[in-house]
Amino acid sequence: MKNDAKIADKFKDFKPNLSDRKNIILGMGLRGFEKLFSLKNKSILFLIGIVYLWTFAFYLLLGEDSYPCNTVSEELKTCTHLNFYGDLQYGGTRIFLVLIAAVASSGLIANDLTDKSIHLYLSRPISRIDYLIARIIPIFLLMLTITLIPNLVVFISQFSKSGLNVDFLSSNMWTFSNLILQAIFYSISYSIIGITFSAAINRESLASAGFFGSVYGVSLIVEIFYGLMSEMDIENSEYILLLSVIHFLDIISYKIFNVDYFVTIFGSPEIIEFPLSIIIGLYVLLFSSFILLVNYIISRMEVTK
Amino acid sequence: MIEAKNVIKKYGQVTALDDFTVDIPKGKIGILGPNGAGKSTFVKIALGLIESTSGEITVLGENLDKNSIEIRKKIGYMPEHDCIPNKMTGVEFLIEMGQVSGLDYQTATQRTHEILGHLRMGEEKYRLIEEYSGGMRQKIKLAQGLVHGPELMFLDEPTSGLDPNARQEMLETINGLAEISNTNVLLSTHILQDVETVCDYVIIVNNGKLQIKENVKELVKRQTDTIQIRVGENSDEFISILKQNNNKRNIEITERWIRIPYKNEESFKEIISAAASAKCQLYEMERIAMTMDNIYLEVVN
């Protein structure tokens, strides 16, 4: 009885020391990341394994002699870190990156919307934007593990190949910072796209199919159309490439490495130029629209239950 | 506990709250009203989930517009609809909710087991929520609102969809947990008995307006035994005689009825005598036991 009374008193006098918003958001994000990495998500773990095997096979074992960028022709240059995000035939991991982003992000908001637990999250001491950030963190961290870490591994391997020469570090300082910037850029972009599909489609499997189809599928279609339009000498046909998220992100990625962007159409590479202001403006417009759309979808949920 | 001043909430052309003003005291308070009266809208605004079109709300002494996130640390919320994830166990879900409220893992775990113990959930708390009965799901919904030890708990239709046994158990649980955890309760419902069972105060809302705010016991006690009369002409004189005879007792006059507190059988003789003196025709006279049902229906209709 005495023990029961003590328990009751403890329950009654419960005065918790609640942490602040930042810690709540970070905690939610890290727990989400942990869940994505759990053994329950075998498909995600399998795809991550493939990316690392791919990196091992193409970039560590076969290793490129001229690191980081290699001159293909008088005009064209290709870089190891750009190739990593390219198509399979060029040793790229793009298809796996898109697939992982699609599978891993699809449930993040969709599940909360489907079971309506989003109302419980939003009744906690966090704002709607806090909630969105907390849901972006897991997929962002996951993407970093398959974009930044493999590239860092390649960088370190090249450093080791140079005989741990300090000159290598000083001459590749910009490569190092660019590869970090590039990995963050791809990771945040795919995370925002993933969260948008997750909120808009509201069903995990459909959201992931929608993401993959809209990003990877559309890129293939756009490339074919661009090829045909180029053959027909249609003016400004390169702008059709901006309809494909993959091409759009690649254009910015090439800008990060200060390399001319080129597309291989029917076997021959073609340099394409876009004004930087248009690309940056379009990126900001597109991705802030995604965030606003998700915010709107969630706000509608609050009102209508 | 909650002070609302001239709160208006519009959804397009529909006005959910219409110049709503109320001062809700601490304790266990019921918000009663038919579906669409504006109860849930008020709860959501007080919780900071949606914004009012105009007006001002103070919750636990803090202005909602300026400090809604901080206020939520002191508030628990149990929504009306089913909103718990099926693919988690009860324990996992409550720990997650505790952590999202700001508790550290250890405290959230400890508190989860304490609450689930009070809710008499045994080994089933380790089962997936999708395997739970309706009553157990409601308990988990209630527990997630209490996990961080809130000062105030919003309960939106907590007995909705429960069978009579589960409903009774839920009401007892709410009563018990509110007492033991020192939590104020704001119970939004359209079921009168829930308010009678749990609440100290009742607020009746209809068409987005406050209709009545009263202590439940006082309200029931005051209006339990009444003689209801309908009269013809000369009612003014009749009423003034009644008032003289019923010194210091409440006589309630509505457009249609006059209600006099029932004292004993002599009360009927007094009324007849007053009607004879005032030459006022008595059309109807009956003793009625006013329950919350009568009060509610009268206010709402």
Alpha-carbon distance B205 to nearest alpha carbon in chain A (angstroms): 20
Angle at A279 between CA A79 and CA A171, to 5 degrees: 30
- The pLDDT of residue A305 is 45
pLDDT tens string for chain B (301 positions)? 889 999 999 888 888 898 889 898 888 999 988 888 888 888 888 888 888 899 999 999 888 888 888 889 999 999 888 889 998 999 999 999 999 999 999 999 999 998 898 888 888 999 999 999 888 898 999 999 999 989 999 998 888 878 888 888 888 888 887 777 778 999 988 888 888 888 888 888 888 888 888 888 777 665 567 888 898 877 888 888 888 876 656 788 888 888 887 878 888 888 888 888 888 888 988 887 666 677 777 777 6
Please determine, for residue A2, whether its predicted confidence score (pLDDT) is greater than 80.
Answer: no
Share of chain A above pLDDT 90, in %: 57
CA A262 – CA A271 distance, rounded (Å)? 4
Average pLDDT over residues A150-169: 90
- The pLDDT of residue B89 is 94
Q: Which residues of A touch B101 (CB under 8 A)?
A: 18, 24, 124-125
Report yes or no: B168 and B118 within 8 Å, Cβ to Cβ. no
Contact at CB, B102 and A19, closer than 8 angstroms: yes
Alpha-carbon distance A286 to nearest alpha carbon in chain B (angstroms): 27
Report yes or no: B192 and B222 within 8 Å, Cβ to Cβ. no
Of A16, A19, A302, the CB nearest to B149: A16
Please determine, for residue A4, whether its predicted confidence score (pLDDT) is greater than 50.
Answer: yes
Of B72, B82, B85, the CB nearest to A125: B72
Cα–Cα distances in angstroms (integers) from residue A34 to residues A39, A114, A116, A140, B157, in the given order:
10, 22, 22, 12, 35
pLDDT, tens only, A49-104: 999 999 998 888 877 667 888 787 777 888 888 989 998 888 899 999 999 999 99
Contact at CB, B82 and A116, closer than 8 angstroms: yes
My answer on whether omega of the bond before A16 falls inside 30° of 0, hence cis, is no
B51: nearest CA partner in chain A: A303
Share of chain A above pLDDT 70, in %: 94
Burial of A125 per CB tally in 10 Å (0-12, 13-18, 19+) = buried
Nearest C-alpha neighbor of A150 from the set A192, A190, A92: A92
A20: nearest CA partner in chain B: B102
Backbone conformation region of residue B207, classed left if phi is above 0, alpha if psi is from -120 to 50, else beta = left
Alpha-carbon distance B253 to nearest alpha carbon in chain A (angstroms): 41
Q: Give Dmax over CA atoms of chain A in angstroms.
A: 90
CA A9 – CA B36 distance, rounded (Å)? 40
Residue A272 has a CB neighbour count (10 Å cut-off) of 19
Q: Which range, A38-42, A207-211, A257-261, B213-217, is most confident?
A: A207-211
**Residue A1 pLDDT level (bands cut at 50, 70, 90):** very low
Q: Which residues of A touch B87 (CB under 8 A)?
A: 111
- The pLDDT of residue B174 is 85
Contact at CB, B75 and A123, closer than 8 angstroms: yes
Average pLDDT, chain A: 89
Q: B223 CB near a chain A CB, below 8 Å? A: no
Alpha-carbon distance B168 to nearest alpha carbon in chain A (angstroms): 23
The H or E element spanning position B228 is strand B225-231
pTM over 0.90: no
Backbone conformation region of residue A235, classed left if phi is above 0, alpha if psi is from -120 to 50, else beta = beta
Mutate one of B83, B111, B180 to test the A interface: name it (highest A CB count within 10 A).
Answer: B83
Average pLDDT over residues A107-131: 91
Report yes or no: A118 and A298 within 8 Å, Cβ to Cβ. yes
CA B116 – CA A174 distance, rounded (Å)? 56
Residue B266 has a CB neighbour count (10 Å cut-off) of 8
Of B80, B83, B118, the CB nearest to A120: B83
Nearest C-alpha neighbor of B80 from the set B230, B210, B187: B187
Contact at CB, B101 and A18, closer than 8 angstroms: yes
Following DSSP, what letter does each residue of B117-154 receive, concatenated?
HHTT--GGGGSBGGG--HHHHHHHHHHHHHTT--SEEE
Mutate one of B67, B69, B99, B100 to test the A interface: name it (highest A CB count within 10 A).
Answer: B100
CA A236 – CA A243 distance, rounded (Å)? 13
Please determine, for residue A299, whether its predicted confidence score (pLDDT) is greater than 90.
Answer: no
- The pLDDT of residue B234 is 77
CA B290 – CA B219 distance, rounded (Å)? 9
Q: b or e along B239-255 (b: 16 or more beta carbons within 10 Å of the residue's beta carbon)?
A: bebbeebbeeeeeeeee
